[in-house]
Amino acid sequence: MSPVKRIWAPWRMRYIKGPKKDECIFCFDPSLDEERYVLRREEFAFVLLNKYPYTNGHLLVVPTKHASHPKDLDDREYQALTALLLFSMTALEKVLAPHGMNVGMNLKRAAGAGVDQHLHFHIVPRWDGDHNYVAVLGEVRVINEHLLETYRQLKPAFK
């Protein structure tokens, strides 16, 4: 029998015990943008840091329209969303200099969508060797930088 592995994450208790809202996590008042780590907001789309990232700099590109599938967006909305996706990838390359990126969208829960009622792109910067023995053996991801620090670094590139 293998020993029990413990990972201490006391900051998660606030989330676990906190009030749960029935509302969509992406449908919020723009006055909360800084608190929600929004890097850029445009008429039809916005980009923000993922609060539960796979790596530092993990971004979400979201249409402002509440839609669960790309077919629910009109041409202008979809074009604005993908233009912001490309802009965000360029900003990440400029500021964080990743060696590569994973870019994608999970549609519906069966496909891995954590938020399946409001579509969004994930941009996950990757570096050679970014998943070391801790992730492989411990099945735990180590994020090398605090979310606020990543936000501060990226914000100027999104103006």
- Say if residues 33 and 41 touch (Cβ distance below 8 Å): yes
> What distances in angstroms separate CA 130 from CA 15, 60, 108, 149, one per listed residue?
27, 20, 28, 18
Global pTM reads: 0.82
Mean pLDDT by 10 residues, the chain (159 residues): 66 72 88 96 98 92 97 98 98 97 92 88 91 58 83 96
Distance between start and end Cα atoms, the chain: 53
Catalytic residue among 69, 120, 131, 146: 120
Beta strands in 1-159 (DSSP E): 38-41, 45-49, 59-63, 100-104, 121-126
118 labelled catalytic = no
The Cα–Cα gap between 84 and 62 comes to 9
Domains of the chain, CATH where assigned: 35-158 (3.30.428.10)
